[in-house]
Amino acid sequence: MKHFEANFDGLVGPTHNYAGLSFGNVASFSNAAQTSNPKAAAKQGLQKAKALADLGMVQGVLAPQERPDLYTLRRIGFSGSDSEVLQKAAQQAPALLNACCSASSMWTANAATVSPSADTRDGKVHFTPANLVDKLHRSIEPVTTGNILQATFNNDRYFKHHQHLPEHTSFGDEGAANHTRFCTEYGHAGVELFVYGQSATDPDSPKPTKYPARQTLEASQAVSRLHQLEDESCVFMQQNPAVIDQGVFHNDVISVGNQNVLFYHEQAFLDTETKFDEIRQKMNTNMHFVKVTTEQVSINDAVRSYLFNTQIITLPNGEMAIIAPTNCQENPAVFAYLNELVTLGTPIKQVRYFDVKQSMQNGGGPACLRLRVAMSEQEIAAVNQNTLMNEGLFTSLNTWVDKHYRDQLTVSDLADPQLVIESRTALDELTQILKLGSVYQFQR
């Protein structure tokens, strides 16, 4: 049977905005209070997703979340009608209103960790939504993320959905952004690499001093237990705290893997050689560790261009391609490096650039926008087929965006009660396009 690695991209929600909510994420902070363009953001995402489908990849979409999140605002004491709740929050606690209005669920690399059936003891594909506890605006995502994943991978015979981990910093979990799976073929048992920022229970372990380490070792270990992975097929590796302090808030800002390739910056990890040996031994095959040195690309350039927040995909002809943001073309050191990379004799043979600037300005590149799910043909047939990208879905989603999305949004617009109505109308229609059922609270 054939196996594929599908990418499920997050649709950008109608409230996409720049509120500067993510301390430690350089782009989020430096673009705070800019005017966003939700319509352009959604269309940029759709273009990338459609282009991958056109390359012969299995490509799906995941629905965004309902924002503004009036339920959270009511839960923290703002009362009255919807417009009163928004107005009071805007006056008394604007930062909390902003946290309840982010379209951050678009970065589906943070939606969940996924283990394919070839790796799990019960032979099912396992999903654990990330609790995202480090950031208030993201900590309100996991319940609806679980609903959306269940409506998308809606078949108990093939898919196993877990609850997100306990909501405490000891279990800080950011999902697949800190997880890479190595394998020879997508359908063969692989080695799952869990990269963590700090250990919550070992006070003496290294940790960053300036910015938070969002992922804990304890969370990664819990996910590996839930997913029924064998010890012999897991590797736990620590991110270098020094790069977290330079803006590498997720490991997918500094390394990316695919099959037997790990593309990484030399400063990405701690104990790099020991851990690479462990990966080699557990993989028992030829691994390509493609190292980028500081001399070639500085951490600053990597963080600004998102060289490592690229997708490495295996094309139907077996060659690997890098899907990069156009920001990589605009950075001379990074562009020069990528031009050279395809000549080095590694499995990576081509680079394709996509404009995802609306997302980039919040610190989300091509890799942040997608959740990888390796599946067999049979498992793909069990996925909600209405979520899979093709000409028809591309056209209907673009029409849907044109109809409902604004082309300008500022932080001061977030208290506009009309935005709630627009957003709900759009999402209600989307659940019909994708045939998701009632995944949102306003529909229940």
Q: Which of 25, 14, 41 is nearest to 413 (CA)?
A: 14
376 belongs to the binding site for ligand SUO (CB under 6 A): no
| Stretch in the footprint of ligand SUO (CB under 6 A) among 12-20, 158-166, 326-334, 413-421 | 12-20
Q: Is 172 annotated as a binding residue?
A: no
* Shortest distance in whole angstroms from residue 433 CB to ligand SUO: 25
Kindly tell me which residue out of 10, 13, 14, 20 binds ligand SUO, with binding defined by CB under 6 A.
20
* Shortest distance in whole angstroms from residue 429 CB to ligand SUO: 25
Kindly tell me which residue out of 109, 151, 383, 401 binds ligand SUO, with binding defined by CB under 6 A.
109
Kindly tell me which residue out of 25, 216, 259, 305 binds ligand SUO, with binding defined by CB under 6 A.
25
Q: Toward ligand SUO, which CB reaches closer, 45 or 364?
A: 364
User: Is 250 annotated in the active site?
Assistant: yes
Q: Toward ligand SUO, which CB reaches closer, 109 or 268?
A: 109
* Shortest distance in whole angstroms from residue 360 CB to ligand SUO: 10
Peptide bond connecting 94 to the previous residue in cis, omega within 30 degrees of 0: no
Between helix 417-433 and helix 82-92 the angle, nearest 10°, is 120
- What would the x/- binding string for ligand SUO be over residues 84 to 103, using CB under 6 A? ------------------x-
8 A C-beta contact, residue 279 and residue 193: yes
38 belongs to the binding site for ligand SUO (CB under 6 A): no
- As given in the structure block, the two tokens for residue 20 are 């500067």
Kindly tell me which residue out of 19, 90, 130, 222 binds ligand SUO, with binding defined by CB under 6 A.
19
8 A C-beta contact, residue 358 and residue 16: yes
307 belongs to the binding site for ligand SUO (CB under 6 A): no
Q: Nearest 5°: CA angle at 146, between 2 and 126?
A: 35
Q: Which of 114, 164, 160 is nearest to 141 (CA)?
A: 164
Q: Toward ligand SUO, which CB reaches closer, 14 or 187?
A: 14
Q: H or E segment at 65? A: none
Q: Is 162 annotated as a binding residue?
A: no
User: Is 188 annotated in the active site?
Assistant: no
- As given in the structure block, the two tokens for residue 140 are 């309100």
21 belongs to the binding site for ligand SUO (CB under 6 A): yes
- As given in the structure block, the two tokens for residue 327 are 């920001």
18 belongs to the binding site for ligand SUO (CB under 6 A): yes
Q: Toward ligand SUO, which CB reaches closer, 249 or 405?
A: 249
8 A C-beta contact, residue 423 and residue 68: yes
Give the chain's largest Cα–Cα span.
64
Residue 354: φ, ψ to 5°? -135, 140
Q: What is the C-alpha separation between 389 and 393, in angstroms, rounded?
A: 6
Q: Toward ligand SUO, which CB reaches closer, 213 or 393?
A: 213
8 A C-beta contact, residue 116 and residue 58: no
* Segments of 133-215 assigned E as strands: 159-161, 179-182, 191-196
Q: Which of 355, 356, 328 is nearest to 341 (CA)?
A: 328
The interface with ligand SUO within residues 240-259 (CB under 6 A) comprises 249-250
User: Is 101 annotated in the active site?
Assistant: no
363 belongs to the binding site for ligand SUO (CB under 6 A): yes
Q: Toward ligand SUO, which CB reaches closer, 13 or 187?
A: 13
- Number of residues counted as binding ligand SUO (CB under 6 A): 21
Kindly tell me which residue out of 15, 22, 72, 240 binds ligand SUO, with binding defined by CB under 6 A.
22
What does 335-386 look like in DSSP terms, one character per residue?
A: HHHHHHHTTTTSSEEEEEEE--HHHHTTT--TTTTEEEEEEEHHHHHHS-GG
Kindly tell me which residue out of 42, 368, 383, 388 binds ligand SUO, with binding defined by CB under 6 A.
368
Count Cα neighbours of 411 within 13 Å in the Cβ-side half-sphere: 17
Q: Toward ligand SUO, which CB reaches closer, 99 or 222?
A: 99
Q: What is the C-alpha separation between 9 and 367, in angstroms, rounded?
A: 9
The DSSP code for 211 is: S
| Stretch in the footprint of ligand SUO (CB under 6 A) among 22-30, 280-288, 343-351, 417-425 | 22-30
Positions marked active-site: 174, 250, 368
Q: Output the known binding site.
A: 19-28, 110, 137-138, 214, 252, 362
Q: Binding site for substrate, residues?
A: 19-28, 110, 137-138, 214, 252, 362
Binding site for ligand SUO (CB under 6 A): 18-22, 25, 28, 102, 104, 107, 109-110, 135, 138, 177, 249-250, 362-364, 368
